[in-house]
Amino acid sequence: MLRLTEVKLPLDHAEGDLQAAVLQRLGIAAKDLLSMAIFRRAFDARKKSAIVLIYTLDVATSDDAAVLKRLKHDAHLVPTPDTEYRFVMQAPIAGQHWRRPVVIGTGPCGLFAGLILAQMGLRPIILERGKAVRERTKDTWALWRKRELHPESNVQFGEGGAGTFSDGKLYSQIKDPKHYGRKVLTEFVKAGAPEEIMYVSKPHIGTFRLVKMVEQMRATIEGLGGEFRFQSKVDDIEIVGGGADAQGQIRAVVLAGGERIETDHVVLAIGHSARDTFQMLYDRGVYIEAKPFSIGFRVEHPQSLIDSRRFGPSAGNPILGAADYKLVHHSANGRAVYSFCMCPGGTVVAATSEPGRVVTNGMSQYSRNERNANAAIVVGITPADYPGHPLAGIAFQRELEQRAYELGGRNYDAPGQLVGDFIAGRPSTEFGSVLPSYKPGVHLCDLSPALPEYAIEAIREALPAFDKQIKGFSLADAVLTGVETRTSSPIRIKRNDDDLQSLNTTGLFPAGEGAGYAGGILSAAVDGIKVAEAVALSMMGKLHSN
């Protein structure tokens, strides 16, 4: 099998043109092309009048070796790399006893950690403080429709994690030499994702499909001996030894209500909003440090505007779909402002997990056919902006979220402002051509009190600068909605580079977004696989030493 890259064709090419291009590139007859599969399809839209599709293909010929030899100087033709996933442990050692590993959290990281452990025969116990995904969905809609917040069942907490209510993006910039990402996509397809996620350059799924996939993954894990426990919040962990200069060892987790589960291996796959769990871990002496994150607003434009600016006359082409964007501006005050979690054809959603606070996030369905595009426009901040305690970033987030609640009217409406008014520094009083999608509602006001002055200043400078990249981005009627504070975890639960265990707590494996080691569905799922492998290797070592 051969991997052929950089096969370029016009956006509107005919069905047979791809095979013709392959035959021409390889210099072979049609009878010698045994098979051809698309590994990746991207597009180049820099010339809007002539958008080009770029294919990476896996092909089999009647004599691969001869083709490679003849085209040995073609850098875009190589043997197809082996991307098959291989387990570090096929099955437990017969007759040996071990305490079952525990996974805390059922977001992408926890699900994939649980799946890999189950596929290796290690029968994980998977704990989730929230509810199963369909019950959780009902609770989430209760906030959006009725202003009823369920603190343990919402956008942040419950089966599937925060990524369930998102655009369902499945791409990342992480380095992945072992092709873990391919394993993630393969398992998602098995669980019901469209097969196109295996080859499109920016795959996504959307909320409704994610719900069904999460349920299917749960069924798979349970069929392999894994055990799910919902509404099972971990209130404490038992650590023996430890202290200021000593290494502790996990012995058990303790659930709300007092149930104790003995274990030597805990995958800590909590999300970035598990603030009470962060506090508990800190109180137990687990090493935690503050890390940078970002704060800002959601901005909404007509999706048709973004499509026309990005794709020109090809806007609306089904292969291109709804257009996205990625923008960065370095402001005069030294702050970086950038777009984050862009949701084409999506909605802005209420994402708080705590009473008396307002948090925004973005969500899209697979179709991406809502009228507005939205993205977070955020400012990078560092621990220098919230100095002192390792958990000071949490207090900082809460302060901004409470302020947003008050500006919105203390009823879970979000504070909002038109972009033109925000840039001019005047309060907004009525909506224009862009109607916000946030539910339960948006209360127009002056957003300048919602964030620190340096952030307001930087965003005010960035919006006109973004207009130079996407004409119309600073559209006066575009809507800003606040606040966006849960861009990433404000802490990192540091782990060793070799065995992925906590720096000072043996048997504790910090993982995913909440621990500060991922950002998004794919990277979190990949981290779950890595940590599951580390758990298996640790268990193998313990079995061999017994």
Angle between helices 207-223 and 180-190 (to 10 degrees): 90
Ordered domains of the chain (ranges, CATH): 2-79 (3.30.70.2700), 102-288+494-545 (3.50.50.60), 292-484 (no CATH)
Residue with tokens 């981005």: 473
Q: Which residues of the chain have pLDDT under 50?
A: 544-546
pLDDT (0 to 100) of residue 93: 57
Q: Token pair of 484, please?
A: 């966006």
Q: List the helix and strand counts (H, then E) for the chain.
A: 12, 24
| CB hemisphere CA count around 309 (13 angstroms) | 18
Query: Looking at residue 11, what is its pLDDT?
Result: 96
pLDDT at site 546: 43
The full length of the chain comes to 546
Report d(CA 242, CA 519) in Å as an integer: 30
How many Cβ atoms are within 10 Å of 257's Cβ, its own excluded? 9
Rounded-to-integer distance, Cα 369 and Cα 303, Å: 9
Q: Which residues pair with 326 in a beta bridge?
A: none
Q: Which residues contact 242 (CB under 8 A, 6 or more apart)?
A: 248, 249, 285, 504, 505
Query: Both tokens of residue 514?
Result: 């909440």
Amino acid, single-letter form, for residue 422: F
The pLDDT tens digits of the residues spanning 108-127 come to: 999 999 999 999 999 999 99
CB 132 within 8 A of CB 541: no
Find, among 431, 163, 469, 172, the residue nearest to 300 by Cα.
Answer: 431
Task: Tell me phi and psi for residue 239, to 5 degrees.
Answer: -125, 125
> Number of C-alpha atoms within 13 angstroms, CB side, residue 75?
0
Residue 102: strand, helix, or coil: strand
> What pLDDT score does 176 carry?
86
Class of residue 516 by CB neighbours under 10 A (exposed 0-12, middle 13-18, buried 19+) = buried
- Residue 200: beta bridge partners? 41
Amino acid in position 317: N
Radius of gyration of the chain (CA): 25
Q: Above pLDDT 70, what percent of the chain?
A: 98
Question: What distances in angstroms separate CA 153 from CA 132, 139, 438, one per listed residue?
Answer: 9, 6, 19
CA-CA distance, 498 to 40, in Å (whole number)? Answer: 32
3-state secondary structure (DSSP) of residue 43 = strand
Under a CB-based contact definition with an 8 Å cutoff, are residues 249 and 507 in contact? yes
Token pair, residue 41, equals: 């399809």
Nearest to 297 by CA among 190, 387, 237, 376: 376
d(CA 377, CA 341): 9
Average pLDDT over the chain reads 95
Whole-number Å distance between alpha carbons of 196 and 321 = 13
Do strands 102-104 and 125-127 pair parallel, antiparallel, or not at all (unpaired)?
parallel
236: β partners:
254
CA 151 to chain centre: 21
Burial 275-306 (b: 16+ CB within 10 A, else e): bebbebbbeeebbbebbbbbbbbbbbbbbbbb
Q: What is the three-class DSSP state of 379?
A: strand
